């Protein structure tokens, strides 16, 4: 914790700013704990022993006997969880699901099929994968919104079989998670979690059918299991601690901006909230509002730890000058809290999701706006994207030549194959040319 | 090698077919050599020592002193390689480049930006990554076509800086590879290879700027380096040995089909070529043609090893009956060598690329047709796709609420945030509702 009990304060006009900002960009908040050997052992054990391994590891890690509690959550229990929701929560979940579905439907890629000038037919065909598995953490991070954000894109993609795995410590299920699974149309819910659950999804066991893609958040063991199984199955990007960058001028209400910063800080002590502003008194007002709000926040302990360890307030000569700095952070979430965000937004290169204007708090995107809340963290927005329908689909390219078309393009293939020292390649074309 | 010096022969009507075919599907042809510790050490060394590590490791593995041979291949040398091509080869490479560019241009995704019924503005914006690095192997697998297939999609994606690394054993460059790099518009070509070159691309050194995405084939060390650096940079799918499945009726010329099978077999002893046919005499004729062609093939030793160890001929009661079996293999390349391939193609679920009809040998797709030849291997077409422009781009989602829109969807976000125990999320929305 910093001695003055405030977050890092940087001023872009200070002489050491370049060095200090570079340190902020390079600061690692992800766990360096090396669980790779333990995870490798678990994966090998599940692969070899199947359900027996799942049974033993669930007893060990989650403290319940699957044969007693049941392996799968019965449909009736999921239905009952949905029926047991308050009207307000049920309406909220269904609004969220409808909006997430509508947004993701627009992501479905179009197939192509054309004949070009040479007479060659060329195309691409997209299909959903046969089966997908969604990992849903237990405990503090068991979020129904996360169930919707992972399961709905899979359903929109056309996945045939959609499986969910979730740890149920001491056998206790989370009714909100079950209700969300029911709304999202999950086919199966298994009461297993951890690296062993990911292994079961990837390899399949006698009970749990193998899937083609595994997505969803998890602890370091789950993340490492996904990383090691990448290639056996498809996975979403490994996720790190969440982040928000807010670019705000002084015409904002400091209380609103403070709440936005805390909405990431409350996730985890490793989360990061950063404010860029061009107004020093506004920066002070936000800092004071954060301190005030922390005092009354049920998640205050976590949020305080995050804010003091990883939070930052960066004073810039103009909001325009913030943009190249924001790009270096490539944040998961970026709020542009100004009256006209368009000119700033046009210059943003790297961000997972951008929230435009004063009335678009990041949290609205976590739940009901429609875009996915599974977004690249840890500067990965430089090269990766939020979860989408594409993560549950694959593309098959295709082509067709008739004799005339092959006559036009085939000789070049023969020349290149010969040059590469691949005579059978050349022959397979040449035989059809003569 | 099989005692009868022919490939595996299976008959779908035989009693043990299910077991035997499952063994064929499950056969692992990828290297199990565990180079992960050696690669981890190399990555750490390059990260810590930068160019000094590259210099030492290049001396060790490629036998040349970068300070003597030069680190970068000068533009003049690349230009000279292009100018030195025969007219035939230059025309062939340029035709290939033009067709690959045209096909990949159609992959560029459209941005979206709409206001929905609730008044919420929702959209997605695609951008190329800032920098990409293409790995090009040295030696036998230094293919100019591979340079085109990796570099052109990156350029089409709008990547600002396109770097190539390639080992030059004993300092010798490959003029065809350099010419292809020039045609594809590669910005920089560095004379380094191996896991250390991948590390240099991912971390950056004093000389070599860090990139955001690394693609391209390589040996086990290169593949493991990419796997370990996944997350630091984006990568293409780790590639295994190449494969072809040919579905053919008896009206094909057995010589054509034999050449097609050998065009994969000649790549590597671990490659796999499989024929499905409904006609036993045709199967025998193809097998005989393969044996005949092998005798005169410059790559015969490799192709023979592959054909005998991994090749197979599967007799099916009808070509229709082949389709579910083909899906289980999820082959990288699938030829449907029949007069009317459409009904069969409609039923294909899993394949990297499909070649339709009798006049579309797979090799035409390796070079000049236009679709990418970097395709999922080892049954990964179940969940992954060939290399595309999307691999060099990322998507930023965005949203905007005005006060009225937030009033419509905000209360649901508050309800869900409260239910998830995230009060700062709830507050950030609620403050704007009152």
Distance CA B328, CA B375 (A): 17
Which of A121, A361, A425 shows the shortest C-beta gap to B263?
Answer: A425
Which of B130, B266, B349 shows the shortest C-beta gap to A422?
Answer: B266
Domain B8-29+240-382 sits in CATH at 3.40.50.1980
Percent of chain B with pLDDT over 70: 98
Is B332 catalytic? The answer is: yes
Residue B51 at interface with chain A, using a CB cutoff of 8 Å: no
Residues of B within 8 A of A256 (CB-CB) are 428, 431-432
Residue B238 at interface with chain A, using a CB cutoff of 8 Å: yes
Q: What is the pLDDT of residue A141?
A: 64
Q: What is the pLDDT of residue A240?
A: 86
Q: What is the pLDDT of residues A174-199, one digit of tens each?
A: 999 999 999 999 999 999 999 999 99
Closest residue, chain A, to B348 (C-alpha): A396
Query: What does the domain layout of chain A look like in residue ranges?
Result: 8-25+240-382, 50-115+127-235, 401-433
Q: What is the pLDDT of residue B434?
A: 80
A 384-423: CB under 8 A from B: 384-386, 388, 390, 394-403, 405-406, 409-413, 415-417, 419-423
Tokens 């959609």 sit on residue: A162
Closest residue, chain B, to A85 (C-alpha): B419
DSSP state of B96: H
Question: Measured between CA atoms, how close is B103 to chain A, in angstroms?
Answer: 8
Q: What is the pLDDT of residue A4?
A: 55
Q: Is the CATH number 3.40.50.1980 carried by domain A50-115+127-235?
A: yes
Mean per-residue pLDDT, B272-288? 98
Q: What is the pLDDT of residues A98-138, one digit of tens each?
A: 999 999 999 999 999 999 999 999 999 999 999 999 999 98
Distance CA B266, CA A431 (A): 17
Q: What is the pLDDT of residues B295-337, one digit of tens each?
A: 999 999 999 999 999 999 999 999 999 999 999 999 999 999 9
The CATH homologous superfamily of the domain defined by A8-25+240-382: Nitrogenase molybdenum iron protein domain (3.40.50.1980)
Residues of B within 8 A of A416 (CB-CB) are 89, 92-93, 96, 144-145, 367-368
Band of the pLDDT at A434, cuts 50, 70, 90? confident
**B264 labelled as ligand-binding?**
yes
CB A274 within 8 A of CB A245: yes
Q: What is the pLDDT of residue B4?
A: 55
Q: What is the pLDDT of residue A138?
A: 85
Task: Indicate the helix (H) or strand (E) that contains B247.
Answer: strand B243-248
Residues of A within 8 A of B375 (CB-CB) are 397
Of A101, A148, A260, A373, the residue nearest B116 (C-alpha): A101
Q: What is the pLDDT of residue A3?
A: 41
Find the angle CA(A52)-CA(A229)-CA(B47) to the nearest 5 degrees.
Answer: 135
Residues of A within 8 A of B388 (CB-CB) are 395
Band of the pLDDT at B140, cuts 50, 70, 90? low
Q: Are B409 and A99 in contact (CB < 8 Å)?
A: yes
Give the number of beta-carbon pairs within 8 Å between A and B: 367
CA distances B388 to A131, A283, B147, B232, B253, Å, are 23, 44, 14, 20, 34
Mean per-residue pLDDT, B243-257? 98
Write the ipTM.
Answer: 0.95
**A196 labelled as ligand-binding?**
no
Which of B120, B297, B397 shows the shortest C-beta gap to A386?
Answer: B397
Q: Are B92 and A233 in contact (CB < 8 Å)?
A: no
Band of the pLDDT at B397, cuts 50, 70, 90? very high
| CATH classification number, B36-111+128-235, choose in 2.60.120.260, 2.40.50.140, 3.30.565.10, 3.40.50.1980 | 3.40.50.1980
Residue A381 at interface with chain B, using a CB cutoff of 8 Å: yes
Question: Which of residues B348 and B31 earns the better pLDDT score?
Answer: B348
Is B373 catalytic? The answer is: no
* CB neighbourhood size of A61 (10 A): 18
**A242 labelled as ligand-binding?**
yes
Band of the pLDDT at A140, cuts 50, 70, 90? low
Mean per-residue pLDDT, B201-215? 98
Question: What are A228's two structure tokens?
Answer: 């090691």
Which of A212, A416, A423 shows the shortest C-beta gap to B92?
Answer: A416
Residue B106 at interface with chain A, using a CB cutoff of 8 Å: yes
Q: What is the pLDDT of residue A425?
A: 98
**A55 labelled as ligand-binding?**
no
Secondary-structure percent of chain B, ordered helix, strand, coil, rounded to 5: 50, 15, 35
Percent of chain B with pLDDT over 90: 92
Residue A256 at interface with chain B, using a CB cutoff of 8 Å: yes
Query: Do A50-115+127-235 and A8-25+240-382 fall under one CATH topology?
Result: yes
Q: What is the pLDDT of residue B2?
A: 45
Mean per-residue pLDDT, A286-294? 97
Percent of chain A with pLDDT over 90: 92
3-state DSSP call for residue A263?
helix
Mean per-residue pLDDT, A388-416? 98
Q: What is the pLDDT of residues B81-111, one digit of tens each?
A: 999 999 999 999 999 999 999 999 999 999 9
Mean per-residue pLDDT, A81-88? 97
Band of the pLDDT at B240, cuts 50, 70, 90? confident
Question: Measured between CA atoms, how close is A304 to chain B, in angstroms?
Answer: 12
CB A229 within 8 A of CB A221: no
């Amino acid at each position: 914790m910093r001695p003055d009990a405030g977050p890092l304060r940087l001023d872009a006009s200070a002489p050491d700013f370049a060095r200090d900002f570079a340190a902020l960009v390079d600061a690692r908040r992800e766990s360096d704990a090396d669980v790779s050997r333990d995870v490798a052992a678990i994966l090998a054990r599940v692969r070899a022993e199947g359900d027996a391994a799942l049974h033993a590891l669930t007893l060990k890690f989650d403290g319940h006997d699957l044969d007693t509690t049941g392996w799968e959550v019965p449909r009736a229990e999921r239905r009952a969880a949905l029926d047991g929701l308050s009207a307000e929560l049920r309406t909220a979940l269904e609004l969220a699901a409808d909006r997430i579905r509508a947004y993701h439907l627009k992501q479905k890629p179009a197939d192509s099929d054309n004949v070009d000038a040479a007479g060659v037919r060329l195309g691409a065909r997209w299909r959903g994968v046969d089966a997908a598995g969604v990992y849903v953490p237990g405990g503090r991070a068991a979020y129904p919104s996360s169930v919707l954000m992972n399961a709905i894109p899979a359903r929109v993609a056309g996945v045939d079989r959609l499986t969910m795995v979730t740890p149920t410590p001491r056998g206790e299920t989370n009714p909100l998670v079950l209700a969300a699974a029911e709304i999202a149309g999950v086919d199966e819910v298994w009461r297993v979690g951890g690296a062993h659950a990911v292994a079961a999804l990837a390899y399949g066991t006698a009970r749990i059918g193998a899937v083609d893609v595994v997505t969803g958040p998890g602890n370091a063991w789950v993340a490492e299991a996904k990383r090691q199984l990448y290639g056996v199955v498809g996975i979403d990007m490994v996720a790190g601690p969440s982040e928000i960058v807010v670019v705000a001028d002084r015409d904002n209400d400091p209380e609103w901006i403070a709440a936005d910063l805390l909405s990431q800080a409350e996730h985890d002590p490793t989360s990061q909230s950063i404010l860029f502003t061009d107004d020093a008194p506004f920066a002070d007002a936000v800092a004071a509002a954060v301190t005030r709000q922390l005092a009354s926040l049920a998640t205050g302990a976590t949020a305080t730890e995050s804010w003091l360890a990883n939070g930052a307030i960066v004073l810039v000569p103009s909001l325009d000058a913030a943009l190249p700095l924001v790009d270096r952070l490539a944040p998961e979430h970026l709020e542009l809290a100004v009256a006209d965000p368009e000119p700033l937004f046009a210059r943003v290169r790297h961000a997972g999701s951008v929230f435009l204007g004063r009335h678009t708090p990041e949290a609205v995107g976590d739940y009901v706006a429609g875009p996915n809340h599974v977004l690249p963290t840890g500067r990965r927005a430089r090269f990766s994207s939020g979860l989408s329908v594409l993560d549950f689909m694959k593309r098959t390219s295709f082509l067709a030549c008739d004799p005339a078309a092959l006559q036009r393009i085939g000789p070049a293939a023969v020349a290149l194959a010969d040059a590469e020292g691949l005579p059978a390649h050349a022959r397979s074309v040449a035989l059809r040319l003569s």
